[in-house]
Amino acid sequence: MNCSIRILTVLLMLIISVSCSFRQKIEKNKTIEDIIHSISSENLKTTVLELQNFNTRYPYEKQLKVADYLYNRIKAYIPDTQFHIYEYWGVYWKNVIATIPGLDYPNKVYIVCAHFDSKSEKRLVYAPGADDNASGCAAVLEVARVLSSYHFKHTIKFIFFSREENGQNGSRAYIRSINPNEEKIIGVINIDMIAFGSDKEDIDLVTRPKHRWIVNYVNQIGKLYNIPTKKVIKKHCF
Amino acid sequence: MLIIEEFPPTNPNKDTTKDTIDTLNFILAKQATKLTAAAIASLAGIK
């Protein structure tokens, strides 16, 4: 995890417009247990390998190709999949957005996201980025796959962002593009570098103090379904 | 905003050309994916 990755999330945090406390007791849900059991390691490995096989996801042309790849992968699960195209330094870049519309509160949105670009000392020719952040993209795809069979009260958006490593341009452009009167973002889960470490590691849940409600909520979910987590509230974490 | 990430984080000084699939732990990745799926399903109000 490097500083630039953490900085990416700040911009998303700024537009979270509802500060929820979620103090209600969360109870175990059989449907959610079924969802958990259907997560596949093999699917995660396949996606990471295919993303690594691009050799690098840093140059402009490569990022466009990776966006096309992710678009085709997630569209197979979620028909409402679109490119979000933005201009940066005179050229057009792509984010990928797949939407499961909420049945009761379609304008209230939860986002699950990951960045797909990679970086290294040899970035123009070789930056495999398996952990950073093919692993996050694989998780977003797998969550989209398992949730695509269900209906929800709120809208869920699955987003793959380009150009995170160079200043979070993809996520910044997305934030600028939305109309807060039409899309009220309730919460965001950004998945970044989830596959490095021993089996005994906890999963870090990282946020700033003002957004601790979502860490508390997800931590409760972890306890309920026996997934070890560790809360990390940082004043200046991003 | 919540970030789900590994612990400890990858050493930022390591050689990032070696960030390849053979160094990854998919048990950990699967756990994080399960947690994300469960959390979003619950937050978004699964029907």
Tell if the CB–CB gap between B44 and A153 is shorter than 8 Å: yes
- As a whole number, the mean pLDDT across chain A is 88
Q: What is the ipTM of this complex?
A: 0.90
User: Which of A87, A164, A183, A201 is flagged as catalytic?
Assistant: A164
Assigned fold of A41-196: Aminopeptidase (3.40.630)
Determine contact, residues A186/A217, Cβ cutoff 8 Å: no
CA dist., res. A116 & res. A111, Å (int) = 16
CB A9 within 8 A of CB A238: yes
Q: What are the start-end ranges of the H helices in B1-47? A: 26-43
Among A5, A191, A215, A233, the residue to mutate for chain B (most B Cβ within 10 A): A191
A-B interface: how many C-beta pairs under 8 angstroms? 248
Residue among B16, B21, B43 whose CB faces A127 most closely: B16
Nearest Cα of chain A lies from the Cα of B14 at a distance, in angstroms, of 10
* pLDDT by position in tens, chain A (length 238): 443 333 233 333 333 334 444 556 899 999 999 999 999 999 999 999 999 999 999 999 999 999 999 999 999 999 999 999 999 989 999 999 999 999 999 999 999 999 999 999 899 999 999 999 999 999 999 999 999 999 999 999 999 999 999 889 999 999 999 999 999 999 999 999 999 888 888 888 988 888 889 999 999 999 999 998 887 877 655 4
| Residue numbers of chain B with a pLDDT score lower than 50 | 7-9, 13
Q: Decide if A133 contacts A115 (C-beta within 8 A).
A: yes
Instruction: Give the residue extent of every domain in chain A.
Output: 41-196
Tell me, what amino acid is at A156? Answer: I
For testing contact with chain B, the best of A186, A203, A236 (most B CBs within 10 A): A203
Residues of A in contact with B14 (CB under 8 A): none
Q: A53: exposed, middle or buried (C-beta count within 10 Å: 0-12, 13-18, 19+)?
A: exposed
Task: Judge if pTM exceeds 0.95.
Answer: no
H/E segment holding residue A37: helix A30-37
With CB atoms and an 8 Å threshold, state whether A198 touches B25.
yes
The Cα-based distances of A38 to A110, A167, A190 in angstroms read: 21, 35, 21
Nearest to B37 among A126, A147, A196 (CB): A147
- Residue A206 sits at the vertex; the CA angle it makes with A203 and A207, to the nearest 5 degrees, is 160
Whole-angstrom Cα distance, residue B28 to residue A158?
21
A165 included as an active-site residue: no
Whole-angstrom distance, CA of residue B33 vs CA of residue B28: 9
If contacts are CB pairs under 8 Å, which of residues 1-47 in chain B contact chain A?
A: 1-10, 12, 15-17, 19-21, 23-47
Residues of chain B contacting residue A207, judged by C-beta atoms under 8 Å apart: 1-3
The residue written with tokens 């940082």 in the block is A234
A205 and B47: CB-CB below 8 Å? no
Q: Is A90 exposed, middle or buried (0-12, 13-18, 19+ CB in 10 A)?
A: exposed
Task: Please tell me the distance from the alpha carbon of residue A126 to that of residue A121, in angstroms, as a whole number.
Answer: 8
